[in-house]
Structures are given as C-alpha cells and as structure tokens.
C-alpha cells in the first residue's frame, strides 16, 4: 500500500521475480554500489531504481544485512484508490494499471524517494497482510533478462488476469 498527499493506493501483489545471491542477473552480483546499496541492508526494505530512462522498479530486499538479494514486484491487482492510479497512469486500461514492474511502481507513485523505506513499518509505502487466501503461486522462468533468465524464479497467481508476461508462461 502507498500513501501520498493525493491519497491512498492499495494493490494485491500477483507476480514477483527473485534475484538471489550469486545470480548474474542481479544488480548485486558485482558487489555493493551507490545504487544497489539498499540490497545489502536488512530484508524487508524497498529497493527502487530507475531503468531505461523512464521507469522505476520496486523491489523488496530479501537477505540479511551484508548479503545482496531482492524480489522484484512485477504486477499487482488494483484494490482501492483506483481513481488515483488512473490519474497516475493516464490512458491505461484498468487491467494495465499495475501489470508490469514499471507500471506497478507508477501506479503506487513510487520513485527514488522511496528507496530504502522500511516496508514493515508505518510510512508512505508498506506491505500488509494478504487481503484474501490464495493458492501457492505458480512458477516460471524470468522475464526480460539477458542473463540467467532460465532460472525458475518468477512467481505468479495462476489464472489472475492482472499478471504480466506472455500467456505461454502463465500456465
């Protein structure tokens, strides 16, 4: 969930991708740098980075302090604050408000200012308990990577129409 001066936006995460220690595709694979420093901090914090000159991606750090790792939030189902999300993503169909990592960050109003936020504490951006029970996530290879994409580290809710990626991966 995210709070801002414009209101609150709530989504249900339906797709994630993991970047584990020793992973050539991870931003952490070449050691700690100014950009990825948050990944080497404690788990449960936001790692936000700017990509392709126009988009932000939101990750949750996943490893103990000193070890670089994280989980990219790839897609989410809008739950409330939908009008606010439409404002942030003009021209987008409701299904596409948060379907994709850059879209998800935009819908929640996430930018560099959220880098390092503790997602388990009250604030402008945080994780809450599941809104409804869900079956165990399905698994697939990762999307959009040029290295180690074959690893089965993408997790998604099977059958949910807010999941991104080609249909062939979502079975």
Using CB under 7 A as the binding rule, whether residue 168 contacts DNA is answered as: no
- Compute how many other C-beta atoms are within 10 angstroms of the C-beta atom of residue 30: 10
Which residue of 3, 4, 43, 55 would you call a contact of DNA, by CB under 7 A? 55
Task: Say how far residue 7 (Cα) sits from the centre of its chain.
Answer: 20
Using CB under 7 A as the binding rule, whether residue 9 contacts DNA is answered as: no
Choice between 21 and 123, CB closer to DNA: 21
* 102 to 121: interface string for DNA, x by CB under 7 A: xxx-----------------
Which residue of 8, 22, 51, 123 would you call a contact of DNA, by CB under 7 A? 51
Using CB under 7 A as the binding rule, whether residue 52 contacts DNA is answered as: yes
CA distance 98 to 159: 16
Question: Considering only CA atoms, which of 167, 2, 26, 7 is closest in space to residue 99?
Answer: 167
Place of tokens 């020793």: 22
Using CB under 7 A as the binding rule, whether residue 45 contacts DNA is answered as: no
DSSP string over 95-162: GGSSBSHHHHHHHTT--GGGTT-BTTSSSSB-----SS--PPPEEE--SS-SSSTTSS-EEE-TT-TT
Minimum distance from residue 91 beta carbon to DNA (Å) = 6
Which residue of 44, 50, 116, 120 would you call a contact of DNA, by CB under 7 A? 50
Give the binding site for DNA (CB under 7 A): 17, 19, 25-28, 30, 33-36, 39, 47, 49-55, 57, 59, 70, 72, 89, 91-92, 96, 100-104, 143-147, 164
């Amino acid at each position: 969930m995210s709070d801002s001066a414009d209101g609150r936006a709530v989504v249900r995460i339906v797709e994630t991708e993991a970047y584990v220690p020793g992973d050539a595709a991870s931003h952490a694979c070449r050691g700690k740098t100014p950009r990825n420093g948050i990944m080497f901090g404690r788990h449960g914090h936001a790692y936000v980075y700017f990509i392709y000159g126009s988009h932000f991606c939101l990750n949750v750090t996943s490893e103990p302090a000193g070890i670089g790792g994280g989980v990219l939030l790839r897609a989410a189902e809008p739950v409330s604050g939908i009008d606010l999300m439409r404002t942030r993503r003009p021209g987008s169909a409701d299904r596409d408000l948060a379907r994709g990592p850059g879209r998800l960050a935009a819908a929640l109003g996430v930018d560099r200012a959220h880098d390092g936020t503790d997602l388990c504490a009250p604030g402008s951006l945080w994780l809450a308990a599941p809104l409804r029970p869900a079956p165990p996530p399905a698994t697939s290879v990762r999307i959009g990577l040029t290295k180690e994409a074959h690893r089965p580290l993408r997790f998604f809710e099977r059958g949910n129409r807010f999941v991104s990626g080609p249909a062939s991966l979502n079975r």
